[in-house]
């Protein structure tokens, strides 16, 4: 879980305590604490990075993540050029 926690932290998302025993962890916006969904703990090592890599453009364009825009801001910080391209593409 540490790997998943760290991967989501880069996008400004906190992984909270399990909602169902040992199966799903709640995802919350690191800024405003709005709940954004769940993540299972059955991801294989490395899968979370692939998943978030694929979702980068969606976070950058604001199609995924909190309405407060925190994840989009994080995406712009992580990779400004790619974030800008994604925003243009999905605009």
Spell 25-34 as b/e; 16+ CB within 10 A means b: bbbbbbbeee
- The DSSP call for residue 44 is P
Closer CB to Zn ion, 23 or 34, in the complex: 34
Q: How far apart are CA 28 and CA 35, in angstroms?
A: 4
1 binds Zn ion (CB under 5 A): no
Closer CB to Zn ion, 66 or 75, in the complex: 66
Binding positions for Zn ion, 32-61, rule CB under 5 A: 32, 34
Q: How far apart are CA 18 and CA 27, in angstroms?
A: 10
29 binds Zn ion (CB under 5 A): yes
Closer CB to Zn ion, 5 or 31, in the complex: 31
- Contact positions vs Zn ion (CB under 5 A): 29, 31-32, 34, 66, 68, 70
């Amino acid at each position: 879980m540490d790997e998943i926690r760290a991967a989501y932290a880069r996008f400004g998302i906190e992984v909270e305590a399990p909602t169902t025993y040992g199966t799903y962890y709640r995802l919350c916006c690191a800024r405003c604490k709005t709940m954004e969904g769940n993540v299972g703990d059955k991801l294989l090592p490395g899968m979370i990075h692939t998943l978030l890599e694929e979702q980068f453009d969606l976070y950058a364009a604001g199609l995924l993540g909190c309405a407060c825009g925190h994840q989009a801001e994080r995406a712009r910080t992580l990779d400004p050029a790619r974030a800008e391209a994604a925003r243009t593409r999905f605009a």
